[in-house]
Amino acid sequence: MRRVFVAPCLALLSVLLGSDALQVIGGSVTVVQGDTAVLPCKLTDTTEDLTQITWQRRMREKPSNDNFITVRPNEEPRFVNGRDDRFKYIGNFNDKNGTLQLSNVALKDEGSYTCIFTLFPSGTQKTEIPLKVFVPPITSIKDNLPTLGKEEVLFATCTAAGSKPPAEVRWLTGTFADKVRMTTNSTQYDNGTTTTVSSLFGVPTREINGRQVRCDISGDSLTKEISLPFTIQVYFSPTEVNIRQISEDTFECVAAANPEAKYNWNRSGQSLPQPGVKVEGAKLQLLSLTSDLNGLYQCEASNTYGSKHSQLYVHVASGTCSAAWTLFGLLFFLNVIGAAVWCYYKSGYSQKRRRLVLKDSKNGTNGEAEMLAAKTSQLADVESKNGQYSTCTEGTTSVSLQTG
């Protein structure tokens, strides 16, 4: 509920009529625009006959006193110079009470109202009632949309427009007050209202982006202080784009930007292969690890201030396993042939062993031991090579990240 201020005063008009002392009670009234004002007016301490109550008003647009309402006994109030249904007579003629009520008060209603009692036989007695209208401000914050830079710029303006009396506007910046600067300017208009603008300046860096501040507005026209929160926004295009692997087949594009970047994936400047690839916003998922997906993928991050991209090279080695098994089969076949040859040789060697031993004994050598050692080494070497290719992984994926 808005406030209505009434500053009581007593207007004393004394006329010596026997022992009577006339008193006309009025007062000054302050009301907030849009609310209802009561204009008090009452005549006391008289026994004279009241013949008429007349109201006059003098406003900014009409500087002369003009009659606008008259009240007579046993008659409805009568408007003079145009009807205004916002006014209502709430007094009582028989009680010599001429009080008026004015609803939905506007700034144009501000002025001086005069209540006049016409008595018989003494004549007229009157009192003047000043009406003051307060106008609450229309408040707002405007973002100046600063972009990343090294020079001081305007961050935002906080405005209290059309206030009467003038409102007070101030920024609360907390712990980083040394990083910002404030200025306040006021403009007064012919209708008595004032617009106050407070501006917030600073250097648009990444550090100050996202900081919370507050604009507080106070004044006599407000029942309570108005607080407008504001987040300092420094706008910039994507400064760096990174592609990270979040699983074996899923990659995500990440970029720092304000406003937030939108993402677009493509492969070598062409549309993505379907249905092997699934895209959800910044994420790229390879649904089937086949060589059809091989190629250079590009993620572009963009907003209204610019764009930047990063690249992902995908290589799916799906044929590795079959080649390894072919090689394994070939080595196994060679190994079997070698074993057969060795067995045949061993059979012939056993028949001549006695003679060879005697001969070697004469020559001082152990030919059989050397031959067996050589054959064993050759077989072990073949088996070693055979085991090296006996396992493989189907669908192996290798990726290479490149930022551009």
User: For the ranges 116-120, 144-148, 170-174, 353-357, which has the lowest average pLDDT?
Assistant: 353-357
Which CATH code fits 241-316? 2.60.40.10
Task: Give the orientation angle of helix 320-351 with respect to helix 353-363, to 10 degrees.
Answer: 80
User: For the ranges 125-139, 163-177, 256-270, 315-329, which has the lowest average pLDDT?
Assistant: 315-329
pLDDT in tens, 256-266: 999 999 999 98
Confidence of residue 340 (pLDDT cuts 50, 70, 90): low
Higher pLDDT, residue 10 or 280 = 280
User: Is the pLDDT reported for residue 85 higher than 60?
Assistant: yes
Higher pLDDT, residue 395 or 138 = 138
User: For the ranges 75-79, 203-207, 280-284, 367-371, which has the lowest average pLDDT?
Assistant: 367-371
138-231 has CATH 2.60.40.10 classification: yes
Confidence of residue 360 (pLDDT cuts 50, 70, 90): very low
Higher pLDDT, residue 6 or 159 = 159
Of 129, 127, 202, residue with least CA distance to 171: 202
> What three-state secondary structure class fits 35?
coil
d(CA 144, CA 73): 64
Which CATH code fits 4-134? 2.60.40.10
Q: What is the mean pLDDT of the chain?
A: 80
Confidence of residue 398 (pLDDT cuts 50, 70, 90): low
Strands 37-39 and 100-102: antiparallel
pLDDT at 356: 36
Higher pLDDT, residue 27 or 348 = 27
Of 177, 46, 187, residue with least CA distance to 117: 46
Strands 23-32 and 123-134: parallel
pLDDT in tens, 170-198: 999 999 899 999 999 999 999 999 999 99
